[in-house]
Structure 1
Amino acid sequence: MTDKNFDEVPENEGSDAAASGPAPDSRNFAEQNIPEQDSTEATAAEGSDDELTIDDILNAVQTEEASSEDGSDAGIQDAEHALLNDLKRLTAEYANYRRRTEEQRHVEIARAKGEAAKGMLPVLDDLDRAQQHGDLAEGSPFFAIAEKVRAVVERLGVTAYGEKGDVFDPQHHEAIFQQPTPGATESTILEVVEVGYRLGDVELRPAKVVVAVPAE
């Protein structure tokens, strides 16, 4: 009896019972997922209002570069002014240095020439005395030597001064004797004892003279 009942059970009944069970509702599943997608899109939409666009970023970068360029330009101008002032100062200092060096060079050259010329003054005195005594006859060997020595002194720029009849100048003449002379109206050189010499504006030796002064 029991076996018969199992055999009579229709095959479709088991499948209908299984089909009658709770099956997933595709409509409810879709409705449950739709709000999640909507909330995500809403959040993204809300966040998009706060996000920076490419134009905003480019504008910010350009503004920052412009401000930095303005600051750098001002700094460059200040540095240029400072360097220009330093260059002007150095140029003026170098010009003054060159002027002082040139003046000092001329002074040293004149001093060296003066020292060389001073060493020749006793020789020139001896030549003058020899000429006064007639020892330097023209054409003699001593006359030729004397002319060469005098030529060397002239090339150095040495000139002689102090002649009889010149007005006495205490700045350049050294009076070794004053002789009252009748008819003299001013002090004049009566006799040259030792010739004076100059090198340019530098006086190597004053002329030693006898001065004629007015008689009382």
Structure 2
Amino acid sequence: MENGRLETTDVTRLRRLAEERTADLQRVKAEYDNYRKRVHRDRLAVREIAVANVLRALVPVLDAVDRACAHEPMTPGLKDIADTLWTQAGSLGLRTFGEAGDPFDPTCHDAEAHHVSPEADRLICTEILRPGYRVGDQLLRPALVEVTGPPPAR
């Protein structure tokens, strides 16, 4: 340092050091951002698994309430219980599926009976014996159905 001035090599060395520290800081920031995103994804996945497990455990309760509603006189108390249970399960993402007329899909339907119809060109769910349940894309229980389809090819 001559007369209080930095030599050119000192300025170059300091600039290079500042660039290295800036690059290090950017790398650490990117790693932290990736970590935050990964933790957020993991938390969502854990939540989805927990919700699916709770809803899977409630499926027999939903079936029992549905049977009670179908076979017992609908009292205000029973109606309130059924409505509240379905509302809360729905708010957690539970969806029922299985409608008469749906194409039969072995990945989400269990066929209890198969009826032959010469007019049919493919397997169709003709009666829903027990609804299926999903939460998001996850299948909790397949629908139990009767299907009608064409005669087997010989």
The interval holding the TM-score normalised by the smaller chain is 0.7 to 0.9
Distance in 2 between the 1:97 and 1:178 partners?
52
Structure 2 residue 38 is matched with structure 1 residue 104: no
Report the TM-score, using the length of structure 2 for normalisation: 0.86
Distance in 1 between the 2:27 and 2:111 partners?
53
Cross-structure match for 1:70: 8
Q: Which runs of 5+ in 1 are unaligned?
A: 1-60
Question: What SS class does the counterpart of residue 62 from structure 1 fall into?
Answer: coil
Question: What SS class does the counterpart of residue 61 from structure 2 fall into?
Answer: helix
2:107 to 147, 155, 171: 171
User: Highest CA radius of gyration, 1 or 2?
Assistant: 1
Cross-structure match for 1:115: 53
Letter in 1 for 2:109: H
Structure 2 residue 27 is matched with structure 1 residue 89: yes
1:148 to 84, 94, 100: 84
Distance in 2 between the 1:105 and 1:211 partners?
40
Distance in 2 between the 1:177 and 1:147 partners?
31
Percent identity reads 32
Report the TM-score, using the length of structure 1 for normalisation: 0.63
- 1:136 is displaced (CA, Å) by 4.6
- 1:146 is displaced (CA, Å) by 1.4
Cross-structure match for 2:62: 124
Distance in 2 between the 1:153 and 1:136 partners?
23
Cross-structure match for 2:95: 159
Distance in 1 between the 2:14 and 2:73 partners?
80
Distance in 1 between the 2:2 and 2:65 partners?
94
Contact in 2 for aligned 1:177/1:210 (Cα 8 Å)? yes
Letter in 2 for 1:79: L
1:203 to 139, 142, 149: 139
RMSD (CA atoms): 2.0
Q: 1:194 to 1:103 in 2, by over 3 A?
A: same
Letter in 2 for 1:101: V
Letter in 2 for 1:204: L
Q: Which runs of 5+ in 2 are unaligned?
A: none
Instruction: Name which structure has the greater RCO, CA cutoff 8 Å, separation 6+.
Output: 2
Question: What SS class does the counterpart of residue 88 from structure 1 fall into?
Answer: helix
4+ residue stretches of structure 1 with deviation over 6 A?
none
Q: 1:154 to 1:212 in 2, by over 3 A?
A: same
Structure 2 residue 121 is matched with structure 1 residue 181: no
Distance in 2 between the 1:122 and 1:99 partners?
36
